[in-house]
């Protein structure tokens, strides 16, 4: 295996014509350049340079090796430039996933911020629920993910998590509901009401709402099903059932729906987390994305102050 430093020394001598000039070009001493050449000749088993007056000239082997060295040095320089660009977020791709609600409310403004800062960075975004996103992270198929959780941090030594937002659930009621004038409602007071089964609520979120109902002393009578939180509001407005909806999904309210807080002892709360791998956590694209998400969630927190 030929040493890159020795090849660089040979190339410098061939292009400058003297050991002294090659040493000045590379910032070495002349004796260090001479030693590199001697070692390279010993390793290749051939003479690479010969005297030519006060200068030196390459032999056929020296010309061949110096020419190859030029290509190798160019490739190394290009690799260093590409690596620097990759580290700076000017090259490469950021692979991101988020669950649906975050994909609608948090991801777009955060992505706009990242693209303004790193315009040449390619960004790939997919929708993935928590377990799928975490599995892809562990497999190295994602660089970052926005997930929902009810514990922090995620108990996984292979991943790093940053809490972005605590997102309490609210109860959505139809206008005209007997408890509509109350600002805070006890969940057990709604035990006899019908409820909307929100099918997007899976995994840890369904476990959290089930726990809230259980703590309130009843199991909900789920009268209708909705695929997502927005159609769930439609069923609520029609008087077909109440729904527990995270406040992040309540930035747009149906005209026929009112939103009320629950007493803290039966109020489910989910955490919105940014999760990444230690190997990429300090890269410019991932840091830029997490910083943008933090700024976006700060804005969301302020905007949601109007939601009761």
Are 300 and 259 in a shared domain?
A: no
Are 175 and 265 in a shared domain?
A: yes
Are 8 and 62 in a shared domain?
A: yes
Are 209 and 71 in a shared domain?
A: no
Are 143 and 289 in a shared domain?
A: yes
How confident is the model over 48-64, as pLDDT tens digits? 999 998 899 999 999 99
Are 48 and 139 in a shared domain?
A: no
The CATH number for 256's domain is 3.40.190.290
State the average pLDDT over residues 230-237: 96
Residue 306 reports pLDDT greater than 60: no
DSSP code string of the chain: ---HHHHHHHHHHHHHSSHHHHHHHHT--HHHHHHHHHHHHHHHTS--EEEETTEEEE-HHHHHHHHHHHHHHHHHHHHHHHHHHHHTTSSSEEEEEE-HHHHHHTHHHHHHHHHHH-TT-EEEEEE--HHHHHHHHHTTS-SEEEEEESSSS-S-TT-EEEEEEEEEEEEEEETT-TTTT-SEE-GGGGTTSEEEEETT--HHHHHHHHHHHHHHT---EEEEEESSHHHHHHHHHTTS-BEEEEGGGGSS--TTEEEEEE-GGG--EEEEEEEE-TTTTTSHHHHHHHHHHHHHHHHHHHHGGG--
State the average pLDDT over residues 266-284: 91
How confident is the model over 147-193, as pLDDT tens digits? 988 777 777 778 999 999 888 999 999 999 999 999 999 999 999 99
pLDDT of residue 88: 74
Task: Identify the domain boundary among 36, 55, 87.
Answer: 87
Are 111 and 149 in a shared domain?
A: yes
Residue 304 reports pLDDT greater than 80: no
Are 142 and 11 in a shared domain?
A: no
Are 256 and 282 in a shared domain?
A: no
Range of the domain at 290: 93-163+278-306
Residue 300 reports pLDDT greater than 80: no
Task: Identify the domain boundary among 87, 122, 149.
Answer: 87
pTM above 0.75, yes or no: no
How confident is the model over 85-134, as pLDDT tens digits? 777 777 788 999 998 888 778 899 999 999 999 998 899 999 998 889 99
Cα–Cα distance for residue pair 244/255, rounded to 1 Å: 17
Are 179 and 255 in a shared domain?
A: yes
The CATH number for 148's domain is 3.40.190.10
Task: Give CA separation, 161 vs 145, 154, 157, in Å.
Answer: 9, 7, 10
How confident is the model over 194-220, as pLDDT tens digits? 999 999 887 778 888 999 999 999 999
Are 80 and 157 in a shared domain?
A: no
Task: Identify the domain boundary among 38, 66, 87.
Answer: 87
The CATH number for 71's domain is 1.10.10.10
Are 139 and 228 in a shared domain?
A: no
Task: Work out how many domains the chain is built from and give that number.
Answer: 3
Percent of the chain predicted with pLDDT > 70: 97
């Amino acid at each position: 295996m030929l040493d890159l430093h020795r090849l660089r020394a040979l190339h410098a001598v061939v292009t400058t014509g003297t050991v002294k000039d090659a040493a000045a070009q590379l910032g070495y001493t002349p004796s260090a350049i001479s030693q590199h050449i001697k070692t390279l000749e010993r390793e290749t088993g051939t003479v690479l340079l010969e005297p030519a007056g006060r200068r030196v000239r390459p032999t056929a082997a020296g010309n061949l090796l110096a020419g190859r060295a030029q290509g190798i040095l160019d490739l190394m320089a290009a690799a260093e430039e590409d690596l620097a660009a990759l580290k700076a977020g000017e090259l490469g791709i950021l692979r991101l996933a988020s669950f649906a609600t975050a994909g609608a409310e948090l991801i777009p403004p955060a992505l706009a911020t990242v693209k303004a800062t790193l315009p040449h960075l390619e960004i790939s975004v997919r929708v993935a629920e928590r377990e799928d996103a975490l599995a892809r992270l562990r497999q190295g198929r994602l660089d970052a993910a926005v997930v929902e959780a009810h514990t922090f941090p995620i108990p996984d030594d292979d991943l790093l998590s940053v809490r972005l937002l605590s997102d309490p659930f609210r109860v959505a009621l139809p206008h005209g509901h007997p408890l509509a004038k109350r600002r805070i409602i006890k969940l057990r007071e709604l035990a006899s009401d019908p409820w909307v089964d929100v099918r997007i609520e899976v995994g840890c979120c369904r476990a959290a709402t089930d726990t809230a109902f259980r703590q309130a002393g009843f199991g909900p009578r789920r009268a209708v099903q909705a695929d997502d939180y927005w159609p769930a509001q439609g069923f609520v407005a029609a008087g077909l059932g109440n729904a527990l909806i995270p406040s992040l999904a309540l930035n747009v309210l149906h005209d026929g729906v009112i939103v009320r807080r629950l007493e803290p002892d039966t109020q489910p709360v989910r955490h919105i987390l940014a999760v990444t791998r230690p190997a990429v956590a300090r890269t410019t694209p991932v840091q830029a994305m997490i910083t943008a998400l933090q700024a976006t969630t700060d804005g969301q927190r302020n905007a949601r102050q109007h939601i009761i």
